[in-house]
Amino acid sequence: MTIKSDYCLNNIKLEEVHTVKDLGVTFNDHLQFKDHCLDKIKKAYAMLGLIKRNFNLLCRNSFVMLYKTMVRSHLEYANAVWNPPS
């Protein structure tokens, strides 16, 4: 059984939302982080594309450095929230 109620602030009805972004972490009304994970994966692929387009002739060490700074940081952001250590 779900209880639906309307909330008002200064006689203005507040909009109902199903996802919220707080401190860079997106979660839905069931406290699932699927949208957060998909967003971070999309940003990581975008960064990989940027590296591929702009840095054609890279040695392995340069690619690893760019990957760690530009791609991995997106994938690891707030991973303790949606995948806590046991």
Whole-number Å distance between alpha carbons of 78 and 72: 12
Which of helix, strand or coil describes residue 7? Answer: coil
Supply φ then ψ for residue 80, to 5 degrees: -70, -20
Residue range 27-36: mean pLDDT, rounded:
85
Q: How far is CA 61 from the centre of its chain?
A: 27
Residue with the larger pLDDT of the pair 6 and 82: 6
- H or E segment and range at residue 41: helix 34-54
Q: What confidence tens digit (pLDDT) does each residue in 32-84 have?
A: 888 888 888 999 999 999 998 998 888 999 999 999 999 998 888 877 766 66
- Taking residue 36's Cβ as centre, other Cβ atoms within 10 Å add up to 21
The reported pLDDT for the residue numbered 47 is 93
Task: Give pTM, 2 decimals.
Answer: 0.69
